[in-house]
Amino acid sequence: MAALVIGLAAVAYAIGECFHSSIMVPTTAALAPDHLRGRYLGATGLAWQTGFLLGPSLGGLVLGAFPLGLPMLCVAICLLAAMGTVAVDHELASEHRRVPLPAAVA
C-alpha cells in the first residue's frame, strides 16, 4: 500500500511539474520587458531551485519540533500563495490575462 501511495504521489508531482514548466516559463517571458527577459527567467529559475534547497531543511526542522505543524504550515503557505496570485491577477494588463471564452452553442 505504501508503494502505491508513493507511486501515485510521484505521478501527481510529475504532472504538476509539467504544468508548471509549460505555464510558468512562457508567462514569465511574456511579462518581462525585452531587455530584462533573461534576468526575469533567471530569477524564476532561482526561486524554483531555492524551494528545492530550503524546503527539505526547513520542513525537517518544523517536523522535528512539532510534527503536526508541518501540514498546517504548508496549508497556510499555500493559502497565502493563492491570495497573492489572485491579487496579482487583477493587476495584469488585459493582453496578459488569457481567460478562455465559452464555446458558442449552436
Percent of the chain with pLDDT strictly greater than 90: 46
Predicted confidence (pLDDT) at residue 106 exceeds the cutoff of 60: no
* CB of 70 closer than 8 Å to CB of 59: yes
Give the residue-averaged pLDDT of 62-72: 89
Phi, psi of 11 (to 5 degrees): -65, -45
Predicted confidence (pLDDT) at residue 102 exceeds the cutoff of 70: no
* CB of 29 closer than 8 Å to CB of 37: yes
Name which residue leads in pLDDT, 96 or 89: 89
